[in-house]
Amino acid sequence: MRLRERPGAHHEQRPCRVLVVSHYFPPHSGGIERIACTEARDLSRAGMEVRVLTSAWGHDGPLAEEAGQAGVCHVPTWNGLEARFGVPFPIFSPSLAVHSYRLVRWADVVHIHDSLYLPSWAAAAWCRATRTPLIVTQHVEIVAHPRRSVILVQRAVYATLGLLVVRTARRVTVVNSRVADFLRDLGVPNSRITLLPNGIDINLFRPARPGEAESLRRMLGLPIDRVLALCVGRFVPKKGIDKLLQAAGDEYVLVLVGGDPPPERAADDRCVFLGRLDPKQVSDVYRACDIFVLPSEAEGFPLTVQEAMSSGLPIVTTDDPGYGAYGLDRNEVLLIEPTPPAIRAALLSLARDPERRAAMGRYSSEFARRQFGREQHIDRLRCLLDEVLSERR
């Protein structure tokens, strides 16, 4: 995608300039930041000029750096809300206003990841002021949390500043039908809402080859002769980790990636905690395990479910309306109530039935290769960028 230069410029055309906005970015671990990072790199490889506006939390290098071919602006941030209350809401320094203005003025089009956060509000406000085309990917709706005050704050934000962001956007992409309904309730016209599944590296997240799972278990220190049920995700309330731990059983071992073990579970031989791992390490863990389980709330096709499917694992996850748009075969994917008895029953049935696990795993892998390739995702995104730029011209 190329744009014409302004009159008087030496070159007739230049690459399209895309600003990607995300509240977190690697090395901070989480689905949204991984998606934003992959998008920035893939758009750069496709020949566009890409810049990223994000927080400096978890980043020890310079505030301006290169990630692949994409330039990243890390704004100083305080992240005490996540550390103290499990609320991933970084508070940015006042310099966010200046950085976001300069980057929006530089960009031909802006892509914001989720409307709930401070950099999203700043970038959307400058897009309105400068009439820069905006695309928003709304990843979630109201996120489940044990504190009612957190729920109320989310509702208030989405009804005000979040509403400003999504109504400013020329297009709003979603990964499931639940979020699409949420946006319609906020008043976003259906014509602006587009289903855009996240893209994953189907070559990195692939099924295990014969004999590979056993060697990976030895390398990772996992039990060789047990059925392993894997859960990958940050240890935050919406992921349902506490419910999963209550569903621990003797016929399978729970393997958890994404956080530290609770003190009361440190000596439980029915659970193995591997901590926080990078994507390459996580791909090895997928191939070492037999089942993937995620009893999360209000998500509907999070990135880890896509990765697990691409890795050829049978899936046990919450029966969420958000999955409706994908047409999953409910005989091949177990969609359950996220309660300890239901989780335990599903894991027990699969632990006792290796033939069914194998059939479900084949279904997962084939489905992921049809739906979730990174090339498919970036092609769809580039079409949306073309559309909004054409409308502007």
For residues 241-245, average pLDDT: 93
Give the gyration radius of the chain's Cα atoms. 21
Report yes or no: 138 and 174 within 8 Å, Cβ to Cβ.
yes
Residue 172 scores a pLDDT above 80: yes
What would the mean pLDDT of 341-369 be, rounded to a whole number? Answer: 97
Q: Give me the CATH topology for the region 212-371.
A: Rossmann fold (3.40.50)
- Band (pLDDT 50/70/90 cuts) for residue 60 is low
- pLDDT at res. 8: 43
CATH architecture under which domain 2-199+373-392 falls? 3-Layer(aba) Sandwich (3.40)
Query: Other C-beta atoms within 10 Å of 94: how many?
Result: 8
Residue 357 to residue 290: CA distance in whole angstroms = 8
Same fold, 2-199+373-392 and 212-371: yes
Per-residue pLDDT, 326: 86
Residues of the chain with pLDDT > 90: what percent? 65
* SS3 category, 244: helix
Q: Which residue has the tokens 């976003």?
A: 188
Cis bond upstream, residue 27 (ω within 30): yes
More confident residue, 385 or 57: 385
pLDDT category at 40 given cuts 50, 70, 90 is: very high
Alpha-carbon span 352 to 290, nearest angstrom: 12
Average confidence (pLDDT) over 244-257: 95
The pLDDT confidence band at residue 259, using thresholds 50, 70 and 90, is confident
Concatenating the DSSP letter of every residue in 73-102 gives EEE-EE-HHHHHHS---PEEPTTHHHHHHH
Q: What is the pLDDT of residues 81-120, one digit of tens each?
A: 877 777 788 999 999 999 999 999 999 999 999 999 999 9
**121 vs 162: CA distance, rounded Å:** 7
Dihedral in degrees, nearest 10, Cα atoms 362, 198, 180, 101: 170
Q: Please report the DSSP string for 314-381 in residue order.
A: -EEEE--GGGGGGT--TTTSEEE-SSHHHHHHHHHHHHT-HHHHHHHHHHHHHHHHHH-BHHHHHHHH
Predicted pLDDT at 59: 73
Residue 338: other Cβ atoms inside 10 A: 20
In angstroms, rounded to a whole number, what is the distance separating the alpha carbons of residues 162 and 318? Answer: 26
Cα 216 from Cα 378, distance rounded (Å) = 31
Model pLDDT, residue 268:
83
Give the mean pLDDT of 152-156. 91
Mean pLDDT of the chain: 89
Position 80 scores a pLDDT of 86
pLDDT at 65: 63
Q: Give the residue, 146 or 341, on which the prediction is more confident.
A: 341
pLDDT for position 69: 63
Mean pLDDT of 371-376: 88
- List of residues 6+ apart from 376 with CB closer than 8 A: 197, 199
* pLDDT score for 11: 44
Q: What integer is the mean pLDDT of 251-255?
A: 97
346: left (phi over 0), alpha (psi -120 to 50) or beta: alpha
Domain boundaries, the chain: 2-199+373-392, 212-371
Pick the residue with more confidence: 31 or 342? 342
**pLDDT higher than 50, residue 6:** no
What is the average pLDDT across 43-55?
94
Q: Are strands 291-294 and 315-318 parallel, antiparallel or unpaired?
A: parallel
Instruction: State pLDDT tens for residues 228-237.
Output: 999 999 888 7
Check the CA dihedral 382-370-169-49 and report its sign: negative
- Work out the average pLDDT over 5-12: 44
